[in-house]
């Protein structure tokens, strides 16, 4: 069965949605967490979709924020060079090609350097509008990033479709008043509006001043 949606803009998360960086992310976070005696499953549940310093604040709530910011910067620097194994999510390149010339943006908790490194490693075209960690004051699950993208594009949030994989990202998209398509096997746990296993199930077409998104 095919589901057909209409929108005026498409907003795309990166990690877990366009690129598969799971192995790198989990390895670096486990290296960070082990000296603190933190449970592996708890750490991996928290970190996906959030800016690193916010994840650290959740996991170590008594620690000084300045320390989190320093360690987050160090981790981002490592992530930006350790890109072996970073690949596209199936269908990501075709989706980005289909969106060329249509209103869309990347909305990621990564900074600009990390976003560029991972998208390049995966061989993906980077959208012209890039909402990164430097663009916002609050991380997902706060909707600030998605709302900023919609505002920059001049499109009402209700006319945007978000592609997201993580709980924090899905919450952010829904809080922004947007339709959210969850990507990946874990996305349904977070109650997105719709769900796909990967982006090969998505077809994009222009229609007048809008975008038609088909889910197969």
Residues labelled catalytic: 13, 15
Distance between CA 107 and CA 130 in Å, rounded? 6
Angle, helices 112-121 vs 65-81, to 10°: value is 30
Distance between CA 196 and CA 2 in Å, rounded? 12
| Contact between residue 10 and residue 163 where contact means Cβ atoms under 8 Å apart | yes
Beta bridge partners of 20: 87
Pick from 10, 214, 213, 205: nearest CA to 107 = 10
Query: DSSP of 60-102, one letter per residue?
Result: STTS-HHHHHHHHHHHHHHHHH--TT-EEPTTHHHHHHHHTTS
Work out whether strand 160-164 and strand 179-183 pair parallel, antiparallel, or are unpaired: parallel
Distance between CA 88 and CA 85 in Å, rounded? 10
């Amino acid at each position: 069965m095919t589901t057909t949606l209409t929108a005026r803009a498409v907003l795309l998360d990166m990690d877990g949605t366009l690129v598969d960086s799971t192995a790198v992310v989990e390895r670096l976070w486990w290296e960070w967490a082990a000296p603190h005696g933190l449970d592996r499953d708890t750490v991996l549940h928290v970190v996906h979709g959030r800016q690193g310093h916010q994840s650290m604040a959740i996991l170590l709530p008594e620690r000084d924020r300045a320390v989190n910011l320093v360690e987050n910067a160090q981790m981002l620097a490592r992530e930006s060079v350790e890109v072996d194994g970073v690949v596209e999510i199936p269908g990501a390149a075709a989706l980005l090609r289909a969106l060329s010339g249509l209103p869309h943006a990347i909305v990621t908790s990564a900074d600009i350097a990390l976003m560029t490194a991972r998208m390049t490693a995966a061989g993906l075209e980077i959208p012209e509008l890039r909402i990164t960690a430097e663009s916002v004051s609050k991380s997902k699950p706060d909707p600030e990033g998605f709302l900023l993208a919609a505002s920059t594009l001049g499109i009402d949030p209700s006319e945007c479709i978000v592609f997201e994989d993580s709980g924090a990202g899905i919450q952010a998209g829904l809080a922004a008043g947007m339709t959210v398509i969850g990507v990946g096997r874990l996305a349904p746990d977070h109650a997105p509006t719709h769900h796909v296993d990967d982006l090969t199930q998505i077809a994009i077409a222009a229609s007048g001043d809008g975008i038609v998104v088909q889910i197969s």
